[in-house]
Amino acid sequence: MNDEQMAVIMPLIIFGGEAKSSAIEAIQAAKAGDFDKADERIKAANGEEVEVSIYMVHAQDHLMTGIAFVDLAKEIIALYKVIKG
């Protein structure tokens, strides 16, 4: 892997990890009844979109995990809103 590929891949790995962390924080905020914070953390988790190429399999895995956690967090937050109404 060359330096140019690494320069693209590393931010994707970092972005995926940060998205997952923000999604978890959103779930925790919703659980505590702080829906404004939950919505803010979901917005942070969405961040910016990045293009993924075939050479970025590991980075794509992190990115997709982050995206999946954001989607899951949205659903869990909606459930907490109903429960804590």
In tens, the pLDDT along 32-69 reads 999 999 999 988 888 755 554 565 677 778 878 888 99
The full set of domains in the chain, from first to last, is 3-84 (1.20.58.80)
Q: Are the CB atoms for 10 and 55 separated by under 8 Å?
A: no
Q: Which segments are annotated as binding site for Mg(2+)? A: 61
**Taking 80 as the threshold, does the pLDDT of residue 14 lie above it?**
yes
User: For the CA atoms of 30, 16, 53, 72, what is the dihedral angle to 10 degrees?
Assistant: -20
Output DSSP code: residue 55: T
User: Which pTM was predicted?
Assistant: 0.59
Active-site amino acid positions: 58
pLDDT for 34: 95
Q: Are the CB atoms for 35 and 29 separated by under 8 Å?
A: yes
Output DSSP code: residue 54: T
Q: Which segments are annotated as binding site? A: 61
